[in-house]
Structure 1
Amino acid sequence: MAAAAALPPLNLYVREPDGLSLLVGPPFAPGPVATIDKVTCNSARFSDDGSKLAVITPDAVTVYACDTGKEVLKLLVAGVAAISFSPQGSYLQTFQKPQAQQKNLTIWNALTGAIVLQQFQKSISKTTWPTVQFSEDESIACRLVTNEVHFFDGHDFAKGIVDRLRLSGIDGVQLSSSPPSHIATYVPEIKGAPASVQIFETTQVSQAQPVARRSFFKSNTAQLTWNKGSTGVLVLATSDVDKTNQSYYGESRLHFLTSDGRHEGAVPLSKEGPIHDVQWSPTGKDFLVIYGFMPAKATLFSAVCKPLFEFGQGPYNTIRWSPQGRFICLAGFGNLPGDMAFWDRETLKSFGTTKAPMSVTSEWSPDGRHFMTATTAPRLQVDNGIKIFKYDGTLHYEKKYSKLYQAEWRPARIGLYPDTPPSPRARKLDAKAAPAKNVPANIGSSTPGTYRPPHSSQSASVKAQVTLSFSELCDGLATGGLSKSALKNKKKRENRKEKDQQESKAVDDSNVTSLEAQLGDASLDSNSADAGDLAKKLRALHKKLRQIEETRAKATETGVALTASQLEKQSQESSLWEEVKHLEAQLTTSN
Structure 2
Amino acid sequence: MAVVEPSSSLEILVRGPEGFFIWNGPPFPSGEPGVKLDRVPCTSAKFSDDGSKLMVTKLDSVISIFDCKTLTEIRSFDVPNVLAAVISPCGTYLQTFQKCSSPQHKNVVLWKIENGESAYQLFQKNMTKVTWPSVHFSSDETGACRLATNEIQFFDPRDFSKGFVNRLRVPGVAALELSKAPGSYVAAFVPESKGMPASVQIYACGKDLQSQPVARRSFFRCSTVQLSWNSGSTGLLVVVQSDVDKTNQSYYGESKLNYLTTDGAHEGLVPLRKEGPIHDVQWSYSGKEFAVVYGFMPAMATVFDKKCNPLLELGTGPYNTIRWNPLGNFICLAGFGNLPGDMAFWDYREKKQLGTTRAELSVTSEWSPDGRYFMTATTAPRLQVDNGYAYVLLILFVCKMCFG
TM-score normalized by the length of structure 1: 0.63
Match of 1:297 in 2: 300
Relative distance call for 1:361 and 1:156 in structure 2 (3 A) is same
| Distance apart, 1:126 and its partner CA | 4.8
Deviations along 1:439-458, one digit per CA (max 9) or x if unpaired, are xxxxxxxxxxxxxxxxxxxx
Residue from 361, 364, 378 that aligns with 2:364: 361
- Say if 2:135 and 2:146, in contact at 8 Å, map to a contact too: yes
- Say if 1:163 and 1:205, in contact at 8 Å, map to a contact too: no
Structure 1 residue 180 corresponds to structure 2 residue 188: no
| Distance apart, 1:127 and its partner CA | 5.9
Q: In structure 2, what residue type is equivalent to 1:218?
A: R
Match of 1:385 in 2: 393
Q: Aligned equivalents of 1:83 and 1:377: distance in 2? A: 21
Match of 1:510 in 2: none
Q: In structure 2, what residue type is equivalent to 1:114?
A: E
Structure 1 residue 255 corresponds to structure 2 residue 263: no
Which secondary structure does the structure 1 equivalent of 2:314 belong to?
Answer: strand
Q: In structure 1, what residue type is equivalent to 2:24?
A: V
- Say if 1:196 and 1:214, in contact at 8 Å, map to a contact too: yes
Structure 1 residue 140 corresponds to structure 2 residue 154: no
User: Larger C-alpha radius of gyration, 1 or 2?
Assistant: 1
Match of 1:191 in 2: 194
| Distance apart, 1:211 and its partner CA | 1.3
- Say if 1:56 and 1:80, in contact at 8 Å, map to a contact too: no
Which secondary structure does the structure 1 equivalent of 2:20 belong to?
Answer: strand
Deviations along 1:348-383, one digit per CA (max 9) or x if unpaired, are 211111111111211111111011111111232144
Structure 1 residue 241 corresponds to structure 2 residue 238: no
Q: Aligned equivalents of 1:123 and 1:243: distance in 2? A: 33
Deviations along 1:195-228, one digit per CA (max 9) or x if unpaired, are 1111111134654311111111111211111111
Q: Aligned equivalents of 2:366 and 2:286: distance in 1? A: 17
Q: In structure 2, what residue type is equivalent to 1:72?
A: I
Q: In structure 2, what residue type is equivalent to 1:384?
A: V
Match of 1:71 in 2: 73
Relative distance call for 1:69 and 1:263 in structure 2 (3 A) is closer
Q: Aligned equivalents of 1:115 and 1:323: distance in 2? A: 34
Q: Higher strand fraction: Structure 1 or Structure 2?
A: 2
Q: Aligned equivalents of 2:100 and 2:211: distance in 1? A: 35
Which shifted more, 20-29 or 78-87? 78-87
Q: Please, which runs of 5 or more residues in structure 2 have no aligned partner?
A: 1-7, 386-390
Match of 1:88 in 2: 90
Deviations along 1:60-85, one digit per CA (max 9) or x if unpaired, are 10112223232211101133333322
Deviations along 1:450-474, one digit per CA (max 9) or x if unpaired, are xxxxxxxxxxxxxxxxxxxxxxxxx
Q: Aligned equivalents of 1:335 and 1:319: distance in 2? A: 15
| Distance apart, 1:103 and its partner CA | 2.5
Which secondary structure does the structure 1 equivalent of 2:370 belong to?
Answer: coil
Deviations along 1:106-165, one digit per CA (max 9) or x if unpaired, are 211011111111122344445654332112332220011221111000000000011111
Relative distance call for 1:11 and 1:78 in structure 2 (3 A) is same
Q: Aligned equivalents of 2:146 and 2:139: distance in 1? A: 15
Q: Aligned equivalents of 1:352 and 1:390: distance in 2? A: 11
Q: Aligned equivalents of 1:281 and 1:9: distance in 2? A: 20
Structure 1 residue 168 corresponds to structure 2 residue 177: no
- Say if 2:130 and 2:175, in contact at 8 Å, map to a contact too: no
Match of 2:290 in 1: 287
Deviations along 1:173-214, one digit per CA (max 9) or x if unpaired, are 111121222111111111111111111111346543111111
- Say if 2:9 and 2:51, in contact at 8 Å, map to a contact too: no
Match of 2:46 in 1: 45
Q: In structure 2, what residue type is equivalent to 1:52?
A: K
Match of 1:232 in 2: 235
Percent identity over the alignment is 58
Q: Aligned equivalents of 1:213 and 1:100: distance in 2? A: 38
Relative distance call for 1:137 and 1:323 in structure 2 (3 A) is same
| Distance apart, 1:17 and its partner CA | 2.2
| Distance apart, 1:36 and its partner CA | 2.0
Q: Aligned equivalents of 1:88 and 1:178: distance in 2? A: 12
**Number of equivalenced pairs:** 389
Relative distance call for 1:161 and 1:365 in structure 2 (3 A) is same
Relative distance call for 1:12 and 1:126 in structure 2 (3 A) is farther
- Say if 1:186 and 1:197, in contact at 8 Å, map to a contact too: yes
Relative distance call for 1:388 and 1:122 in structure 2 (3 A) is farther
Relative distance call for 1:310 and 1:97 in structure 2 (3 A) is farther
Residue from 96, 110, 114 that aligns with 1:111: 114
Which secondary structure does the structure 2 equivalent of 1:228 belong to?
Answer: coil
Deviations along 1:281-301, one digit per CA (max 9) or x if unpaired, are 111001011111100010111
| Distance apart, 1:170 and its partner CA | 0.8
- Say if 1:166 and 1:206, in contact at 8 Å, map to a contact too: no
Q: Aligned equivalents of 2:99 and 2:248: distance in 1? A: 38
Q: What RMSD over aligned residues (CA atoms) do the two structures have, in Å?
A: 1.9
Q: Aligned equivalents of 1:96 and 1:347: distance in 2? A: 51
